[in-house]
Structure 1
Amino acid sequence: MTLLSGVCIILILRKVASWHFEKTMDRWSYINTHAGETGSEIAECLIQRNNIQATRVHITEGVKTGAYSRYGKTILLSKDIHDSRSVAAIAIAAHEVGHSECDRDNGLIMYARYCLVPFGIILSKAVPILLIMYFFINWMVYILVAAVLAIMCLQLMSVWIEHDASRRALKMLKKARKYNDSEIRAIKKTLNAALMTYLVNVFNFKIG
């Protein structure tokens, strides 16, 4: 009963975090910044200002999304973020530049996560099997606990990387002096809403 309650709480928290992020994105996707720059323009600006070499900005598929490819040294923004002048677009674009800067300064951490993700995916798929085996083999609980802890550690690493990217993004945007205090607060709220989804996923024993 306790396990079932815990699962229900986690599912509810995931839904709430996802809903909050979508609501925040929707709110700030219709409000443009005074600077008037698009997501791609501010990304290029921050890349140049912070001496992040060999990083390019491209359009990718999807909606209200962004990503950073450390091997291609490429920032990928969905078209609505790439071409938008909204607060949400600036937040996402700057966040991905934050990943790029983190890769420059702490490349080993991002490389370690990249290498560990396939291992985490295998473990997450093995958890249901291990759980079933536990009912027949008591000592299987030790392997199950080890697998769950390993997945949680990888999720926590993701939280740290996302938090660091957002922290760097805010620092770069403040340094650029292109946005007023109310816009910076709105950008911070957007980044925090995204981070909450990663925090909740720490207790979601599934990767990929």
Structure 2
Amino acid sequence: MALVLGLLAVLFLAAIFLPQWWVRTVMRRHAVERDDFPGTGGELARHLLDLARLGHVRVELAQPGGDHYDPVEKVVRLSPDNHDGRSITAVAVAAHEASHAMQDADGDTLLATRVKLAGSIRAVEVSAAIVLALTPLVAVLVKSPVLVVLQIGVVVALLGSRVLVHVLTLPVELDASFKRALPILEKGGFLAEADLPKAKSVLRVAAMTYVASALVSLLDIARLLRVLRF
């Protein structure tokens, strides 16, 4: 029985961490600087936004944080390597994030839903922390195991909402990568035909980043349950 549980634990951890490793590996593999590229990722993002008549959307270095589009401030933020780099990864990520700005401009409902949900994540996490912190006090004062179990259930549900946000985000990411960024790079001639499969790999992992984040959130829930001896 112990061997089976150990194997299941290994498989669970592999499911959690292998996607993250895959994302980092693909991004690094195609981050080699290319002297034949006419511009940086930041310059491409600016060019694509201008072509889409989104001159009001700024392009900035992501400090702190990774590559993302901020729909509230209308800013595409790129990490230094992608903002200043001339690589397939830089080009693909820049096109991906610029595509989010295009989704925003088109009134994409899924993107709007994601923005609303993401805005509530911080409040959810704070609420979960407060409920968890009060659990021992409630156990001492009320002395009701049922109430304590209910509190723990609330915490797990609150943390699970973060997983839900990441899952709902996936269609938005896939649309940005494959219905917008990839056709733009292909039809616009921004990459040679031989480089398109590599860009497709980068765009795939750019979309799957949120799957990896969802799995990490699941790990947080599993750790909580283990600490509480469930």
> CA shift at 1:165, angstroms?
1.8
- Equivalent residues in 2 for 1:4-43 (5 A)? 9-32=11-34, 34-43=36-45
- Looking at structure 1, the residues matched to 124 and 91 of structure 2 have their Cα atoms a distance apart, in angstroms, of 36
Please say if 1:137 is aligned against 2:140: no
Query: Are the equivalent residues in 2 in contact too, given 1:55–1:75 (CA < 8 A)?
Result: yes
Structure 2 residue aligned with 1:181 = 193
Query: Are the equivalent residues in 2 in contact too, given 1:32–1:85 (CA < 8 A)?
Result: yes
Structure 2 residue aligned with 1:117 = 118
Structure 2 residue aligned with 1:170 = 182
- Looking at structure 1, the residues matched to 175 and 35 of structure 2 have their Cα atoms a distance apart, in angstroms, of 24
Greater displacement, 154-163 / 182-191: 154-163
Structure 1 residue aligned with 2:139 = none
SS class of match (1:61): coil
Which structure has more helix as a fraction of its residues?
2
Give the letter for the 1:36 counterpart: P
Higher relative contact order structure (alpha carbons within 8 Å, sequence separation ≥ 6) = 1
> CA shift at 1:3, angstroms?
9.2
Structure 2 residue aligned with 1:68 = 69
Deviations 1:48-83 (A, max 9, x none): 2223341121223369x4221112211112222222
C-alpha change, 1:7 and 1:159, in structure 2 (3 Å) is farther
Between Structure 1 and Structure 2, how many residues are aligned?
A: 204
Query: Are the equivalent residues in 1 in contact too, given 2:20–2:212 (CA < 8 A)?
Result: no
Query: Are the equivalent residues in 2 in contact too, given 1:33–1:183 (CA < 8 A)?
Result: no
SS class of match (1:137): helix
SS class of match (1:199): helix
Greater displacement, 138-147 / 104-113: 138-147
- Looking at structure 2, the residues matched to 83 and 160 of structure 1 have their Cα atoms a distance apart, in angstroms, of 28
Give the letter for the 1:42 counterpart: L
Query: Are the equivalent residues in 1 in contact too, given 2:61–2:77 (CA < 8 A)?
Result: yes
Give the letter for the 1:186 counterpart: K
> CA shift at 1:103, angstroms?
0.7
Query: Are the equivalent residues in 2 in contact too, given 1:46–1:97 (CA < 8 A)?
Result: yes
- Looking at structure 2, the residues matched to 148 and 62 of structure 1 have their Cα atoms a distance apart, in angstroms, of 24
> CA shift at 1:202, angstroms?
2.9
- Equivalent residues in 2 for 1:49-88 (5 A)? 49-61=51-63, 65-88=66-89
- Looking at structure 2, the residues matched to 67 and 119 of structure 1 have their Cα atoms a distance apart, in angstroms, of 18
Percent identity over the alignment is 25
Query: Are the equivalent residues in 2 in contact too, given 1:33–1:179 (CA < 8 A)?
Result: no
> CA shift at 1:99, angstroms?
0.8
> CA shift at 1:37, angstroms?
1.8
> CA shift at 1:36, angstroms?
2.5
Please say which structure displays the higher CA radius of gyration. Answer: 2
Deviations 1:4-55 (A, max 9, x none): 9766544322321121122112211114274422111211221122233411
Structure 1 residue aligned with 2:49 = 47
